A and B are shown apart, each in its own frame.
Chain A
Amino acid sequence: MNKLHFKVGLFAAASLLLAGAFVVYLLHARGFFEETFHLQLAASSADGVAPGVPVVFSGIEIGRVTTLGLNEEGGIIIHATFFKRNAKWLKENSTFTLDKPIVGGAKIRVDSPDLDAPALPDDATVLLLTSDISKELPALVERVKAVLDNVEHLTRKDGEITATLANLQTVTGRMTGEYGMLEGILGSPEKARAVTDSLDGIRALVGRLDSLALKVDGMAVKTDQWLFAPAGVAEQTHEALAQIRLMLNDAQSSLEKADAMMTNAVAISADVKEGTQDIATLRAEVDDAVSKANALVNKINKMWPFASEPEVKLP
């Protein structure tokens, strides 16, 4: 036995075997032993599509573009080939999208939302959608630029937002003071105190006016009794009666004014800022009402002796 020949023979046989195995593997890889499944994709543009572009399903390549060309109507027809074993992922409700990422080659993405749907027949024609990020990018950049410009304008050094924030800071700073929100809205603790004082005064005044009204009520009843008593003052005092009626009218209007004052007080607590300006007039009106009530009581007193001293005290 020739040792040299044996070694060379072994080498040649092993190499041939490996080469043969590789060729078979390559033929298998290229689908030589498999049946193929064809599909035609109709697209509006073949931009980026070329023979060899992969068709992927869930990121796994299941086929590739073989040829592409124009049909009689000027539309684009892309032929894609799949292995028969991969054809089961192609359903009638599958969508075909051409993806063109910024980095890397284009690919056709298949999405089959319902895998129980009927399968696509061989040589079927489906629509190819396009999602081209690179085309949308310039428009997107323009819009983002405009938004950024606006934001920049809003946040400039002497801008509205800065001023608003500064104002908000002073207001919230005041709110931490003794009179809280009220001080925050009115601007200083003195003003806030004035408002709370006024409110306290109005509360007391309203209480007194209440009792005064009761008294006036009582007076009216007594006057009634007195007028229509069997002793009969009515005949003597027809003029006085008319006067009393007038006085009673006056008292009623005073009470209405007090009522308006109460409404005003409610309005004051609702809109305190304006309320602070109305405080003076409110006081004047209250004074006026009280003095009128005083005068009324005095007048009644003159005509009718009451036990108690008719006096209304102002807060």
Chain B
Amino acid sequence: MNFLAASIESLGAKVVGWFTVGYAMFAFLAKASLLLLDRTTWNRATFDVVVKQVYFTAVQILPVFLGYALVISWLIITIILSTARDFGLTAFASEMTIRVLVLELLPFLTALFVALRSGSAINTEVALMQVNNELDALAHCKVPPMQFEFLPRLIGGVVSVVILAGLAGLLALLLGYLSIYGVSTAGFEPYTQTIAKIFDFKIMAGLIVKCALFGLAVTLIPVTAGLETPKKLFMVPVSVLRGMMRVFFAIVTIEVVSLALKYI
């Protein structure tokens, strides 16, 4: 009896914990969105931090990221093409390539890439600031941390993931064309038709929204996870661990929901 009560209690604690985390996240998001609408937010200083954020999240990793996207795309395209040839379904190979790579795999991998590199860094940074009371100090100096520390990170994350996923997608389209038709303009017309068939307005909007949500997830979740760190130094790694797990679950959830909306 005791055991049952204990397990129910632990379950309840977990549920309350999830709700607290979820509430904190959405409250933070609402605050950030409201601030975004405020005219005073749009000043030179905030913009500078956004630019810095984009630089660290996207520009700095661009060569590595594009190389990685190139290898992954080339592998997947080769696998799809040879499989399609084996089954006599070459007519569907280009559509399959575009759907798998540009719409699903590359945005997902981009989000993971940015989460591992920038998300974990943001989480650690915010957790350390919290533990060292830097945030309170900033607030004292009339530098609201929301405006100058958190909001630029969110914007930078969203912009970076959307652009990186877009670049990787364009690279995959180009690579797909070269793999299927070789260096010639002969396949331009059919390839264009395939692209036209896939990318209607709904799919394009869905793709951009999905990438934006990925970008939001890989910055918003680490920031909130860092903010809820207890003021003890040894809790910083725990905070990063929790934040990264949440980021991973959020990315998978977004991907699954987007797939379900598209194909079910």
Task: Identify the A interface with B (CB < 8 A).
Answer: 4-5, 7-8, 11-12, 15, 18-19, 22, 25-26, 28-31, 52, 60-61, 64, 103-104
Contacts and interface: CB of A to CB of B under 8 A. Distances in A.
Given A4-B51, A26-B204, A104-B92, A11 B62 contact: yes
B55 A7 contact: yes
B62 A22 contact: no
B59 A11 contact: yes
Contacts of B54: 8, 11-12
Nearest to B197: A52
B167 A18 contact: yes
Given A11-B54, A61-B190, A104-B91, A22 B170 contact: yes
Given A5-B51, A18-B170, A26 B196 contact: yes
Interface of B: 51-52, 54-55, 58-59, 62, 89, 91-92, 163, 166-167, 170, 189-190, 192-193, 195-197, 199-200, 204
Contact of B58 (A4, A11, A25): A11
- What 9 A-B pairs come out closest when comparing CB atoms? A29-B196, A29-B192, A30-B196, A11-B59, A15-B163, A8-B55, A8-B51, A7-B59, A29-B195
B59 A8 contact: yes
14 contacts: A7-B55, A8-B51, A8-B54, A15-B166, A15-B167, A18-B166, A18-B170, A19-B166, A25-B195, A26-B199, A60-B190, A61-B193, A104-B89, A104-B92
Given A11-B62, A29-B192, A31-B196, A4 B55 contact: yes
Given A29-B195, A61-B190, A103 B167 contact: no
Contacts of A11: 54, 58-59, 62, 163
B76 to A, nearest CB: 20
Given A7-B59, A29-B195, 9 more contacts: A8-B51, A11-B58, A15-B167, A18-B170, A25-B192, A29-B192, A52-B197, A60-B190, A104-B89
B203 to A, nearest CB: 10
A274 B192 CA distance: 84
A18 B91 CA distance: 28
B159 to A, nearest CB: 8
Secondary structure class of chain B's binding surface, majority of residues = helix
Contacts of A61: 190, 193
A12 B166 CA distance: 12
A88 B199 CA distance: 27
A250 B62 CA distance: 130
A8 B190 CA distance: 36
A26 B195 contact: yes
A106 to B, nearest CB: 14
Contacts of A64: 197
Nearest to A19: B166
Given A4-B52, A15-B163, A18-B170, A29 B59 contact: no
Nearest to B53: A8
A101 to B, nearest CB: 10
Contacts of A22: 166, 170
A139 B193 CA distance: 37
Contacts of A4: 51-52, 55
A7 B52 CA distance: 10
A274 to B, nearest CB: 65
Contacts of B58: 11
Contacts of B199: 26, 29-30
B91 A29 contact: no
B195 to A, nearest CB: 5
A5 B52 CA distance: 8
A90 B92 CA distance: 26
Contacts of B163: 11-12, 15
B152 to A, nearest CB: 13
A29 B193 contact: yes
B64 to A, nearest CB: 14
A22 B166 CA distance: 10
Contacts of A15: 163, 166-167
Contacts of A25: 192, 195
Contacts of A8: 51, 54-55, 59
Contacts of A30: 196, 199-200
B207 to A, nearest CB: 12
A214 B147 CA distance: 147
Contacts of A103: 89
Specify which of B52, B170, B192, B193 lies most central, judged by the most chain A CB atoms within 10 Å of its CB. Answer: B193
A29 B192 CA distance: 6
A52 B189 CA distance: 17
A199 B193 CA distance: 87
A103 B89 CA distance: 9
Contacts of B51: 4-5, 8
B96 to A, nearest CB: 12
A81 B83 CA distance: 33
B136 to A, nearest CB: 29
